[in-house]
Amino acid sequence: MAREDDVWRLPSRLNALSTGKLLQTFLYETPVSCDWFFDLREVTEIDQAGLDCLLAVRNRVVGSGFALFFLNTPCQFSRIIRVLERDQVYSGLSPSNA
């Protein structure tokens, strides 16, 4: 996982083996002071633990008054990522009022 210009590039696998470090970084070590951007370009696998991780991070960011945006989403994950993005809009947060 690398960070460049406020964009976090996620690892290729978001699964039970990789989410522990992600959760530690995004839930406990990194303060939320702006919108977050996740680049999913390299992601090839997302299991239930990966979805739970993304949901937990999204809830933390939205709960802090900011938005989580997903960039370069592979087509096989586009539907579930759209649901995560749509839910934060329905929660009252959208790019126009963020």
* Residue 78 maps to a domain: yes
CB 42 within 8 A of CB 13: no
Q: Does residue 96 fall inside a structural domain?
A: no
Asked if residue 38 belongs to a domain, the reply is yes
What is the residue-level pLDDT of the chain in tens, covering all 98 positions? 667 777 999 999 999 999 998 899 888 888 999 999 999 999 999 999 999 999 999 999 999 999 999 999 999 999 989 988 876 655 544 444 44
User: Which structure tokens are listed for 50?
Assistant: 């990966």
Model confidence, pTM: 0.81
Q: What is the CATH number of the domain that holds 17?
A: 3.30.750.24
For residue 95, is it within any domain?
no
Cα angle 37, 16, 39; round to 5: 15
Asked whether residue 23 is assigned to any structural domain, the reply reads yes
What per-residue confidence (pLDDT) applies to 32?
92
Give the chain's domain count.
1
| 97: in domain | no
Say what the pLDDT of residue 93 is: 47
- pLDDT confidence of residue 88: 64
Count CB neighbours of 8 within 10 A.
Answer: 20
30 assigned to some structural domain:
yes
- Cα(98)–Cα(96) distance, integer angstroms: 6
54 belongs to a structural domain = yes
Q: Please tell me the predicted confidence (pLDDT) of residue 96.
A: 47
Domain, as residue range, for 26? 2-90
